[in-house]
Amino acid sequence: MKLCMIGTGYVGLVSGTCFADIGHTVYCVDKDEAKIEKLNSSQSPIYEPGLDELIKENYKANRLFFTSNLSEAVNKSDIIFICVGTPNKRKSLSVDLKFVYQAVKDIKKVSKGKKIIVTKSTVPVGTGDQIEKILKNSKKFTVVSNPEFLREGEAIRDFKYPDRIVIGSNSSSIFKTMKNLYSPLINKGSKFFTTNRRGAELIKYAANAFLATKITYINEIANLCEKINVNVEDVSLGIGSDLRIGSRFLRAGPSYGGSCFPKDTKGLISIGEKEKVDLSIVKSVVKSNENRKKLILNKISKILKNKIKNKKVSILGVTFKPNTDDMRDSMSLKIIPYLIKKGAIVSYYDPTGEKKEFENLSNCNFYMNINDAVKKADLIILHTEWDEFKSLNFNSLIKKRKTSLYDLRNLLNTEDIKAKNLEYFSIGRPKIN
């Protein structure tokens, strides 16, 4: 089939490339010309393991194209996927759909033949109806919802082996076409699930809010563990082994972040508000997550005995999770400015390089390697669970300096923390020294 992906970000680029890899011809469009230029010189604008190679292979095979020419891409395609961002509105819980609606208006302007328009972006319930209105209910267009569930860092695997493919449409004849599109994945065992369009739109928000609830729940249990000398990891294992609960998303850590959970929990609350339904559980999850940010900052201050001024603090990993360069709603965006404001001297290292988010902060420096970043640190904060942090030898890193380590991911095994001058703090585990 011939497909057009509008928006070549984390979702559009990964799904476009994977669609090409399973044999479709894909035209990826982005309004950001620098992105398209980069992609046409075979460089990925994002860091996602395995993506560079997959782009190169499919580009070479003439199945994957990158262009800013929307008209050409739309008119060469049967199905158009909208993969643009859907952030929250400023100072509001509700979802800003300006990029989605602009993309629809752009399609309407250039499109000549019959097209299927699919929202892959996460959009509030009823967005498909609004899109139909913009298209003046023209019979030329069929509007379908196909939410995306891939996780950054594992996006290719998630796209190619999804637990389920959700298709929402009010016209059941479209399901056959969508099933054909995904048949290489369905044939390998992925579940193909159909519902009406509003149902598919809601499934995405309900799924993300549920996962955020699990994380928030175990984070609160971790707070309790810290008070009563219990290891939260034992609790996670003890409850997660129950198949009704499941072990995933039960790892305590800092507040949840990233490009989806914070905005989608808020988005779901605003969908409820619009319908006058009080989604009190989701509201308390959002509140608990906000409190957690304050709690982590207070703990950092406490570790430094409330004397942050001139303290050297080193942050290992700043992205919201490993194997991605995505900084959206990362806890590091709270920690670093807080420390700088309080007069600390911050150094940081991340495998995906220096971040523009910290460029204008004085006393905040990026280092190309761990050794240089932690040199002279009074406190090291292990923020992101990159593999390369898992077997760090703190004896040789800190030498004879007295240093504290705050392991926000419980990445290190407490028995392995043998460095004499290191005071170790973690999340929800009994203190070891």
Ligand X SMILES: NC(=O)c1ccc[n+]([C@@H]2O[C@H](COP(=O)([O-])OP(=O)(O)OC[C@H]3O[C@@H](n4cnc5c(N)ncnc54)[C@H](O)[C@@H]3O)[C@@H](O)[C@H]2O)c1
One of 4, 20, 51, 85 touching ligand X (CB under 6 A): 85
**Would you count residue 44 as binding ligand X (CB under 6 A)?**
no
How many residues of this chain bind ligand X (CB under 6 A)?
27
| Residue pair 398/373 in contact by the 8 Å Cβ criterion | no
**Can 260 be counted among the known catalytic residues?**
yes
Q: How many CB atoms lie within 10 A of CB 333?
A: 18
**Would you count residue 127 as binding ligand X (CB under 6 A)?**
no
* Closest by Cα among 302, 288, 376, 374 to 342: 302
One of 3, 26, 64, 83 touching ligand X (CB under 6 A): 83
**Would you count residue 7 as binding ligand X (CB under 6 A)?**
yes
Buried b (16+ CB within 10 A) or exposed e, 400-432: eeebbbbbbbbbbebeebebeebbbbbbbbeee
Residues between 91 and 110 that touch ligand X (CB under 6 A) = 99, 102-103, 106
**Would you count residue 253 as binding ligand X (CB under 6 A)?**
no
- Whose CB is nearest to ligand X? 9
**Would you count residue 128 as binding ligand X (CB under 6 A)?**
no
**Would you count residue 226 as binding ligand X (CB under 6 A)?**
no
CA distance 220 to 290: 12
Residue linked to tokens 């090409």: 20
Q: Of these residues, 4, 28, 225, 260, which one is catalytic?
A: 260
**Would you count residue 111 as binding ligand X (CB under 6 A)?**
no
Half-sphere exposure of 279 toward its Cβ, with a 13 Å CA cutoff? 21
One of 2, 23, 32, 237 touching ligand X (CB under 6 A): 32
| Residue pair 107/115 in contact by the 8 Å Cβ criterion | yes
Q: For strand 191-195 and strand 312-316, is the pairing parallel, antiparallel, or unpaired? A: unpaired
SS3 169: coil
Binding window for ligand X (CB under 6 A); candidates: 79-87, 194-202, 297-305, 421-429: 79-87
One of 1, 31, 134, 283 touching ligand X (CB under 6 A): 31
CA distance 3 to 111: 14
Residues between 143 and 182 that touch ligand X (CB under 6 A) = 148, 150, 152
**Would you count residue 77 as binding ligand X (CB under 6 A)?**
no
Task: Point out the residues that are catalytic.
Answer: 260
- What is the binding site for ligand X (CB under 6 A)? 6-12, 29-32, 35, 83-86, 99, 102-103, 106, 121-122, 148, 150, 152, 259-260
